[in-house]
Structures are given as C-alpha cells and as structure tokens.
Amino acid sequence: MPLLPFLFFLLLLSYSSHCDGLRFRGVGVNYGTLGDDLPSAARSIGLLRSAGGAAVKIYDANPAILRALSGSGLLASIMVPNQLIPLLASNQSAADAWVSANLLPFYPATRVRFLLVGNEILSDASIANSTWPALVPAIRNLHRSVKSRGIHNIKLGTTLAMDALAVSFPPSAASFRPDIAEPVLRPLLDFLTRSRSYFFLDAYPYFTWAQNWDSIPLDYALFQGNPSSSYLDPGTRLIYTNLLDQMLDAVVAAMCRMGYASVPIALAETGWPNAGDLDQIGANVRNAATYNRNLARRMTARPPPGTPARPGVEMPVFVFSLFNENQKPGPGTERHWGLFNPNGTPVYEVDLTGRRPTATYPPLPPAQNNTPYKGRIWCVVAGGRKTNATELGSAVSYACGQGNGTCNAIQPGGPCYWPNTLAAHANYAFNSYWQQFRKSGGTCYFNGLAAQTAKDPSYGSCKFPSLPN
Ligand SMILES: *[C@@H]1O[C@H](CO)[C@@H](O)[C@H](O)[C@H]1NC(C)=O
Ligand SMILES: *[C@@H]1O[C@H](CO)[C@@H](O)[C@H](O)[C@H]1NC(C)=O
Ligand SMILES: *[C@@H]1O[C@H](CO)[C@@H](O)[C@H](O)[C@H]1NC(C)=O
Ligand SMILES: *[C@@H]1O[C@H](CO)[C@@H](O)[C@H](O)[C@H]1NC(C)=O
C-alpha cells in the first residue's frame, strides 16, 4: 500500500493502544472482603502495593475501597452484584442511577478500567431463568450509561468460570456448554467484539490438577514444567508447557468454534491455595508461592509470552487473592487463597512485578500434602477460637436434622449421650453429618465451628464413624 495510508494506519494503532489509558501492565490482585478481621481499605491497598500489585479488582463498588484507591495510580476493576442484573437489564434509568451512584463519585480520580456485571453467574443454575437472559441486556444498558457520561476507557464484561465449557480437553476440541452457548454467549461475544472488550475468565489450574493429580504432573500446573512433561495437542500440534495455557487455549478454541476468533481474554482470577482441609491435596505455602511467583514472572515478561494459540498477546491478570478470608464458606482451601494474613503479615513473599529473581526469595517450607491424605478423618468442633454456644447449638440442630439417624447416638440412652454437654454432642453431630454428606460435597465447616481431625474422637462405647477417604 502507499506510504501515507500505511503511516496513518500505524498512528491509529498506536492511538488505540496507548492513548485510552487501557494499556494494562503488571499483575493485579483480587481484593475480597469476606472476613471479619481484615484491615482498613487504606492499609489493604498499601499491602497490595507492597507486593508489587499494579491493579485491584473488587467484587462490588465499595465506596471506602474506591476512595482509598483515589490518586493511588492503581487500575481498578469494579463489579455489579448478581442480584441487580434483572433490574439493570429492564430499566435504562436504573442502569444510569447505578453508574451515577457507584462510579461517578470516584471516577476518574480512581482509575476504574473494568466494570464487570455479575460474578460467575453462568455457574449458578438456580438463576438460569431469572438472571442469565438479563446478563447481556444489563451490560448493554450500563455501557450506554457509561458512554453517555463521556467515559470511553472503561471496558465492560462479566466473569466466567471454566465450567462455561462442556469440553475442555484437548484444548483444540473445546466447546461451550450448549445451555449457554447460543442464548447467552453469542450475544455476549458480539458485545465484547463490538466494544473491543475482554472475555473475563476465572481459571484455576489448582482445581484441574487437584481432580487429576495422578495424571497431571504438579510441575506442569506450577509452571515448573520441563520439555518432558509438555503436552502436544493432537488437533493443532501446538505444544503446551503449563496447565494454565492449556486452559486458556481451550476457551480460545471454544470462542473460535462459535466464530469469534479475536476476543482477547483477561484472566480475572487465578491463584493457588496456601492451606486447606486434611482431605485436600496440594494446598500449601510452597505450591502457592511457586505458582504466583512464576505467574508474575510470566505475565510481566516482555514481550509477553501469550499462549501457544495466541503467542505474544498481552493479557490482564488478577491473582486471587489479597487476604485469607475467614468467612468464605466451603472447604478449607476457600479461606486460604491470600497473599496476606488478615493481620497484614505476608503468607509468603511474592513480587508481583515479576522482577525479583527466584534465588533471592527465602527458602519455602516443604510441601506436606502433594499426595492425598491416607488415614481416616473425622469432623469435630474446631479448636482454637472461642465458640459461641448459641451458634454451636443451632449448628447441632441443623446437622441432626440432615441425613438418616444422624444424631441417634446422642439421644438419651444412646452410646454417646454421656457426657451430656453441648460440646461433646456437637463433636458427634458434626462428624455424623459430614461422614454421610462428604462424598456429595458436604463440608466440615459450619461457619468455622467445625474442622477436620486425624485423631479419632471415639471414647468408651461411643464410636465415631469414619469412612475411608
Ligand atoms: C427504573 O429505575 C428508576 C431509577 O432507579 C426507578 O425510579 C423507576 O421506578 C424504575 N422503573 C421501572 C419500570 O421499574
Ligand atoms: C426454568 O424454567 C424451566 C422451563 O420453564 C423449568 O423447567 C426450570 O425448572 C426452571 N429453572 C429454575 C432454576 O427455576
Ligand atoms: C452468639 O451468636 C449470636 C447469634 O449469632 C449473637 O446474637 C450473640 O451476640 C453471640 N454471643 C456472643 C457472646 O458473641
Ligand atoms: C437416607 O435414607 C434414604 C432411604 O433409605 C436414602 O435414599 C438416602 O440416600 C439416605 N440419605 C443419606 C444422607 O444417607
């Protein structure tokens, strides 16, 4: 082509990538707040910076956090709560009002760059009818609201988990779930293409590895792979050296299969848990530090590595998460994704700028649980913190109301009736509940009142059941 149009084309390109403030460098951190012992927003932002974080993603539009971010230079990603989606879809004035109340007071002093509408809503089948059809209309309304305020450097989207895929392996064979592909993902991908936004993906090699620990090498999941543990995709002949790339390219392939070859991915959540329950595998400080240090080095490399299907492509990334959050329900790993303890001490050292050489980190503790725990496990009242008798009583009533004959042994005349104390009965009830439900996803947690133990709590004629793992 003649020289002049070519130069003009180059200018256009550099304008779009540099002048809108979207250029995303460095690694961000997800700042979840499901803890009753977390530091102030200002202190939390300070900790995030001390780890080299370049951006912060929050799960709402918390005004204290957005104020603390003001003038910090950190990029911010905010979120619209799931339950507002139907309203925002049906009513443009409600979308305008949301933007006025939650974004405008802080923007542009707080450098909001992503506005995410809902969190993994396509993973929640209970809102399939009420909320899924409203997702893209809500995004469109919010997009209109933002544009009508003259704001052009905020990208909109929604976060999706890997369960958006029906098939994810080999990566080249991946496809989206049929229940969401046409009704939700096609209009979403249309919107993302037209607005030049991202497919915001939550991808955890930890979960994939933990479910397939006997076939996937741990080093492959931790970016420690060597050529002998690489994977060759038979469909594309592309070679994978780590599990994250394999998962990302599965999403790329699923998008391509629907005709969307150019929507970039932003990694909205990834990470590795630093601790978990006895029956959870691979959740430890050594693996967590290794994963996040290697992730930071990789994601900040210049030029960016991209993935085998999209070499050299830059990708925004947010590590999950800033803190260990003590009020997250579910198995123990859920409360142990943090870079920091709630008191502000680091769980392990990590430099998210990716510049610190590996050899300069202090030695990591050995990994204790990289293979499944072999012995029997029971579920009893958690030691350590003061238990609230009212809460313990309600938890026991709940446990005893589930399953079959769960609390027969602690009825008068039963072998575990004595000692007739709430604590002793709670031990029995928690264990009896959990042994019945653990195979179907029941957790030994009860809002922090219960924990797993390897020590058999049986006494005298009172036997606590325990299934083999
Ligand atoms: C739309 O939202 C506005 C602002 O929140 C509210 O005043 C109005 O009643 C809503 N209209 C409908 C039809 O829900
Ligand atoms: C959604 O609607 C379908 C068809 O009306 C119904 O079969 C299904 O149970 C509903 N799902 C939920 C979660 O309400
Ligand atoms: C115990 O928990 C109940 C219910 O959550 C609460 O109302 C009560 O204040 C708590 N008691 C103490 C001593 O913390
Ligand atoms: C309780 O018993 C019923 C009927 O025998 C059975 O279908 C159900 O699965 C049992 N529930 C549990 C938790 O074992």
Residues labelled catalytic: 120, 269
Does residue 442's CB lie within 6 angstroms of at least one atom of ligand 4?
A: no
Mean pLDDT for 344-366 is 97
Q: Are residues 12 and 153 in the same domain?
A: yes
pLDDT for 22 equals 55
Q: Are residues 382 and 356 in the same domain?
A: no
Q: Are residues 23 and 105 in the same domain?
A: yes
Expressed in angstroms and rounded, the spacing between residue 438 Cα and the centre of ligand 4 is 14
Q: Which residues pair with 450 in a beta bridge?
A: 381
Instruction: Please indicate, yes or no, if residue 370 is contained in any of the structural domains.
Output: no
Expressed in angstroms and rounded, the spacing between residue 35 Cα and the centre of ligand 4 is 35
pLDDT tens-digit profile of 280-315?
999 999 999 999 999 999 999 999 999 999 999 999
Q: Are residues 346 and 427 in the same domain?
A: no
CB 332 within 8 A of CB 260: no
pLDDT band at 227 (very low <50, low <70, confident <90, very high): confident
State the sign of the Cα–Cα–Cα–Cα dihedral 224, 335, 177, 79.
negative
* For the CA of 440, the nearest atom of ligand 4: 13
Mean pLDDT for 261-265 is 97
Q: Is the pLDDT of residue 25 over 90?
A: no
Q: Are residues 53 and 115 in the same domain?
A: yes
Q: Are residues 158 and 129 in the same domain?
A: yes
Q: Is the pLDDT of residue 5 over 70?
A: no
Q: Are residues 309 and 240 in the same domain?
A: yes
Instruction: Please indicate, yes or no, if residue 389 is contained in any of the structural domains.
Output: yes
Does residue 94's CB lie within 6 angstroms of at least one atom of ligand 1?
A: yes
Last residue of a domain, one of 334, 360, 386: 360
pLDDT band at 16 (very low <50, low <70, confident <90, very high): very low
Q: How much is the pTM?
A: 0.91
Last residue of a domain, one of 360, 386, 415: 360
Mean pLDDT for 391-402 is 97
Task: Return the structure tokens found at 104.
Answer: 């405008």
Expressed in angstroms and rounded, the spacing between residue 405 Cα and the centre of ligand 4 is 10
Instruction: Please indicate, yes or no, if residue 366 is contained in any of the structural domains.
Output: no
Nearest-CA residue for ligand 1 atom 13 is 91
Mutate to test the pocket of ligand 1, among 84, 88, 93, 145 (most ligand atoms within 8 A of CB): 93
Q: Are residues 150 and 251 in the same domain?
A: yes
Q: Are residues 331 and 391 in the same domain?
A: no
3-state secondary structure the chain: CCHHHHHHHHHHHHHHHHCCCCCCCCCEEECCCCCCCCCCHHHHHHHHHHCCCCEEECCCCCHHHHHHHCCCCCEEEEEECHHHHHHHHHCHHHHHHHHHHHCCCCCCCCEEEEEEEEECHHHCHHHCCCCHHHHHHHHHHHHHHHHHCCCCCCEEEEEEEHHHEEECCCHHHCEECHHHHHHHHHHHHHHHHHCCCCEEEECCHHHHHHHCCCCCCHHHHCCCCCHHHCEECCCCCCEECCHHHHHHHHHHHHHHHCCCCCCCEEEEEECCCCCCCCCCCCCCHHHHHHHHHHHHHHHCCCCCCECCCCECCCCCEEEECCECCCCCCCCHHHHCCCCECCCCCECCCCCCCCCCCHHHCCCCCCCCCCCCCCCCCEEEECCCCCCCHHHHHHHHHHHHCCCCCCCHHHCCCCCCCCCCCHHHHHHHHHHHHHHHHHHHCCCCCHHHCEEEECCCCCECCECCCCCCC
pLDDT tens-digit profile of 430-465?
999 999 999 999 999 999 999 999 999 999 999 999
Q: Is the pLDDT of residue 6 over 70?
A: no
Instruction: Please indicate, yes or no, if residue 11 is contained in any of the structural domains.
Output: yes
Residues with CB under 6 A from ligand 3: 388, 390-391
Residues with CB under 6 A from ligand 2: 126, 128-129
Mean pLDDT for 233-251 is 98
Expressed in angstroms and rounded, the spacing between residue 141 Cα and the centre of ligand 1 is 13
pLDDT for 197 equals 98
Ligand nearest to the CA of 389: 3
Instruction: Please indicate, yes or no, if residue 447 is contained in any of the structural domains.
Output: yes
Last residue of a domain, one of 311, 326, 360: 360
Instruction: Please indicate, yes or no, if residue 367 is contained in any of the structural domains.
Output: no
Instruction: Please indicate, yes or no, if residue 371 is contained in any of the structural domains.
Output: no
Domain CATH number, residue 334:
3.20.20.80
Q: Are residues 342 and 453 in the same domain?
A: no
* For the CA of 126, the nearest atom of ligand 2: 13
Instruction: Please indicate, yes or no, if residue 369 is contained in any of the structural domains.
Output: no
Q: Are residues 428 and 287 in the same domain?
A: no
Does residue 465's CB lie within 6 angstroms of at least one atom of ligand 4?
A: no
Q: Are residues 60 and 25 in the same domain?
A: yes
Q: Is the pLDDT of residue 255 over 80?
A: yes
| Rounded CA separation 296/244 (Å) | 13
- Domain residues for 383? 376-468
pLDDT for 180 equals 98
pLDDT for 20 equals 44
pLDDT for 322 equals 98
Q: Is the pLDDT of residue 338 over 90?
A: yes
Averaged confidence pLDDT in the chain? 94
Mutate to test the pocket of ligand 4, among 404, 435, 467 (most ligand atoms within 8 A of CB): 404
Q: How many domains does the chain have?
A: 2
